Amino acid sequence: MFAMMTPAQQTMDRLYDYCEHGRQWHYCRLCKGPSVCMHGSRRAQCTICKGKGICPCGRRRYYCVACKGNGICMHNRRRCNCRICKAEATASDISSDGPTDQETLGPQGKVRV
C-alpha cells in the first residue's frame, strides 16, 4: 500500500511544517529547531559559528564583493540594485521583442504606452 518514508524524506516533509508559534518549525528559535544555532540565529548565516553562508571575510558569501559572490554583478554592485544591469536587461528585452525606433522608446530605454 504505502511505502515507508526514509529519514531524509521525513525531515524534508517536516521542514515546511509550522510550529505553535506560527513559524516554520526548522527555523523557530523558541522550539529550538535544528537550523537554529546556539547563538539564536540561522545556523548557515551565523557569523559567530562561521556558517556555510559566511565567507572568510566574515560577510554573507552571496553578497561579498571580495569573494565574488553570486549576488554581485560585473559592476561590483548587488545584482538586485544595479541600475546598469537593469537598463541593459530592459534594452535587450525590448530589442528582441518589439520596436526599437526612438519614437517608441522613452527615457532609460523603456517603451512608452
> 5-62 pLDDT, tens per residue?
676 666 666 656 888 888 888 888 888 888 888 888 888 888 888 888 899 988 899 9
> 94-110 pLDDT, tens per residue?
665 555 555 455 555 55
Placement of cell 545556523 in the chain: 43
Question: Does the model's pTM come out above 0.75?
Answer: no
Rounded-to-10 torsion of CA 69, 71, 74, 76: -80
Q: Is the Cα dihedral 73, 74, 77, 83 positive or negative? A: negative
- Provide Rg for the chain, Cα atoms: 22
